[in-house]
Amino acid sequence: MAATRERVAAQREAERKAAKRRSAIIFGASGIAVLALVAGLTAVVMSSSDDDKKSSANNVIADVRPDPNTKSDIAGVSTYTAAQGHISKPKDVTYRQVPPVGGEHDPVWQNCGIYDAPIPNRNGVHSLEHGTVWITYQNNLPADQLDVLKSKVKGKTYMMLSPYDGIDKPIVASAWGLQLKLDNASDPRLDQFIKEYKEGKQTPEPGSPCTGGVGKPTS
């Protein structure tokens, strides 16, 4: 009987040690798998970060954000906070707003006046910084509507007019950090916007020129 008990005890001890070895192997393998997974994820994140750095090396996303703390007295005007700063070529600037309302821009401003073709965003934004109101319109805007817009810009200082691809309203008026979308050129809010914001208090660089830059307006 004693011998039998000893054999049973020895067998149980052997089984216990075997189970312990199996657990160690399983946990060891699991640990290796976890480490491999972490290493893989780290590599992916680092790779994505490197890609972001590469993409940002030649492109700057303008720092412009909605400003819920600033309200306009004109119905429908959207307000934004916008960073300043010059971005020289060959770097590009991407603007989330269409058309842009501010943000980093080209060192040279766009000459004010009337344009029959789209103008570069980066130059137009610099003009906004000087106090310009930039009126943009869809390419299919009726001729009589376009004539109304031209009458508001022709011969006026700090006014700019150009077509713009991709806007979601027929007419969009922009000043630094401000934008108003319109369906009709005769909407009285357009004149209110011009009166309030052309060289308005929102202008970051009041008194700066709107001539002597780039571009040849038709009038």
What digits encode the pLDDT tens for the residues 169-212?
Answer: 999 999 999 999 999 999 999 999 999 999 999 999 999 999 99
Domain match, 30 and 103 both: no
Looking at residue 14, what is its pLDDT? 53
CA dihedral 190, 194, 195, 200 (to 10 degrees): 140
Average pLDDT of the residues of the chain: 85
Q: Is 112 exposed, middle or buried (0-12, 13-18, 19+ CB in 10 A)?
A: buried
- Return the closest-CA partner of residue 78 out of 193, 179, 183, 191: 179
Instruction: Record the pTM.
Output: 0.75
DSSP 87: -
Domain match, 109 and 165 both: yes
Domain match, 42 and 105 both: no
Domain match, 21 and 110 both: no
1 found inside a domain: yes
Tokens of 145: 């509507």
- Number of domains the chain contains: 2
What digits encode the pLDDT tens for the residues 48-63?
Answer: 444 344 346 789 999 9
Question: Which domain does 15 fall in, by range?
Answer: 1-57
Domain match, 73 and 14 both: no
The Cα–Cα gap between 144 and 180 comes to 20
Band (pLDDT 50/70/90 cuts) for residue 214 is very high
Domain match, 17 and 89 both: no
Domain ends where: 37, 57, 77?
57
Largest CA distance in the chain: 119
Domain match, 43 and 73 both: no
Domain match, 190 and 84 both: yes
